Every structure is written in structure tokens, then in C-alpha cells.
Amino acid sequence: MAEAQLQQFLEKVRQLNAFVALSEADPGLRQTLRDCDDHHQVVALARSRGFEIGRRWGEPPPAQGPGDGTEAGEESHGSVSLLASPCPSGGRETTTVLLETPQLRLERIHSCSARSPEDFWYDQSEEEWVLLLQGSARLQFADENEPRRLVSGEALRISAGRRHRLLATDPHPGTIWLALFWQHSPAG
């Protein structure tokens, strides 16, 4: 582990310990912490008290955002960074087509606190395979009772015509998807 990574890790541990100590001394904060449903709510609560505990191990520093000299999907020396780009504003997604041929399309989708409209369902004529590169998401399929939760590193194939909707993606730094689309073939 590089010294810089070690120092980042140690600083996060210091921040976590200070946040824990504060929550033990403040019954109201402890109850608010107990009421958190997920990691993002805990991180937001800690941030509201001045602690930065959200950066995960190996996660790059947050992008600087618009005006930092790059745009989402911009190529640099013939390559595209799949993880480093400004996070879209809350409730939005940005899509970059990385590769397109007559047979397939590969997209990078960066979502920030995004969700499908209440009565909207995707009903695609294309087959889709998605891989979460960063963050997490909850999807609902019309033919399933319970939503599915995907986390970084998990992949899922969605058959053509299978109705689904996005229930939630992570807040800043967002959820990054790699999505491969191809035309449905009756033979397979």
C-alpha cells in the first residue's frame, strides 16, 4: 500500500472514531444514526456533523466537476476513464456511447440519486447486460415481487421485453454502469 493510501485510510479511521465518540456523547445523534437505513444516510449524517467517512477503499478522489478540463466520455490519449468524470446533478444520468456497431452498443451510464418516474417501465426491444462499476442500485422487475439490489461488481442480464424500472441509485459520487445492448434474436 502506498504511503498516501495509508494516510487516507488512517484519516478515515480517525474521522470514524471521532464520529462514533460524538454519537456516544449525544443521544439525539445516536438515535438519528440508529434510524439510518443505509450507508449513504450514515455518510450524509456524518458529513452534516463535519466528518468525511464516505470514501471507500481504493475509490479515486471525487472529480472536480465542470470546468476541470474534461467532460464525461472525453478521450485522453486514446482512452476513456470509466470511473473518473463529474457526477451528474441529483436525479440525473449521463450516458456516453463507448462503442457502437450494427450488432451492439456499449454505454457508460453515470447516475446520481436517479429513479424512474412513478408509472414508467422500461420495455426494450434490445437485450441488455449491465455491470455496476461503482456504487449501488435498486431495480424492480414487473414479474418479480421484490426489488433487486445490485452493488459494485455485480452484473445482470435483462431480456428484451422484460419490463423493469430503476428505483434508486447512489447519491454523489453516484452509480456508474457499463451497459451492453444487442438486438434480440429468436434463436437465442
pLDDT in tens, 95-147: 988 999 989 999 999 999 999 999 899 999 999 999 999 999 999 999 999 99
Identify whether 128 is part of a domain: yes
Confidence of residue 73 (pLDDT cuts 50, 70, 90): very low
Q: What is the CATH number of the domain that holds 179?
A: 2.60.120.10
Counted domains in the chain: 2
- Domain residue limits at 16: 3-48
Identify whether 56 is part of a domain: no
Identify whether 143 is part of a domain: yes
Same domain, 96 and 178: yes
pLDDT on residue 164? 96
**Grid coordinates in use for 184?**
434480440
Same domain, 98 and 179: yes
pTM: 0.60
How far is residue 129's CA from residue 106's CA, in Å, rounded to a whole number?
A: 10
Question: Closest by alpha carbon to 184, among 160, 157, 158, 156?
Answer: 160
Same domain, 162 and 100: yes
Average pLDDT over residues 46-60: 67
Same domain, 109 and 176: yes
48, 63, 83: which is the final residue of a domain? Answer: 48
Confidence of residue 165 (pLDDT cuts 50, 70, 90): very high
Angle between helices 27-34 and 39-48 (to 10 degrees): 150
Identify whether 15 is part of a domain: yes
How far is residue 136's CA from residue 148's CA, in Å, rounded to a whole number?
A: 11
pLDDT on residue 134? 94
Identify whether 70 is part of a domain: no
Same domain, 96 and 170: yes
pLDDT in tens, 138-159: 999 999 999 999 999 999 999 9
Identify whether 62 is part of a domain: no
Q: Do 8 and 57 meet the contact criterion of CB atoms below 8 Å apart? A: no
Same domain, 179 and 115: yes
pLDDT on residue 139? 97
Question: Percent of the chain having pLDDT more than 90?
Answer: 44
Same domain, 44 and 96: no
**Grid coordinates in use for 147?**
426489488
Identify whether 96 is part of a domain: yes
Q: Is residue 40 pLDDT above 50, yes or no?
A: yes
How far is residue 34's CA from residue 27's CA, in Å, rounded to a whole number?
A: 10
Identify whether 87 is part of a domain: no
